[in-house]
Amino acid sequence: MPTGLRKSKPKTASQRMQARRTRLRAQGLKPVQFWVPDLRNPRVRAQIRREAALLAKHPANDEVDAWIEAVYDPDA
């Protein structure tokens, strides 16, 4: 058996994550956390439907749609 060669103790998940964050920071990156609506939640979906219905009834809706059509570039 070779002497002096030891298997290192496995790192914990938090140690591996800390090492990854250290490597990413060394590359000039920083962690950012984003919170987004949970579309699996029925209350969130209901709120989105209510807001969409309100937007559909907005008096300037036709004007906004016309502007979007005018500036939309399907080749971009």
Q: Domain count for the chain, please give it.
A: 1
pLDDT at 7: 78
Q: Tokens 């439907």 label which residue?
A: 49
35-56 pLDDT tens trace: 999 999 999 999 999 999 999 9
pLDDT at 1: 55
**Contact (CB, 8 A) for 38 and 28:** no
- Residue 49: what residue type? R
Residue 74 lies in a domain: yes
Mean pLDDT of 20-29: 96
Residue 76 lies in a domain: yes
Instruction: Domain of residue 76: give its range.
Output: 36-76
Is this structure's pTM higher than 0.85?
no
Residue 1 lies in a domain: no
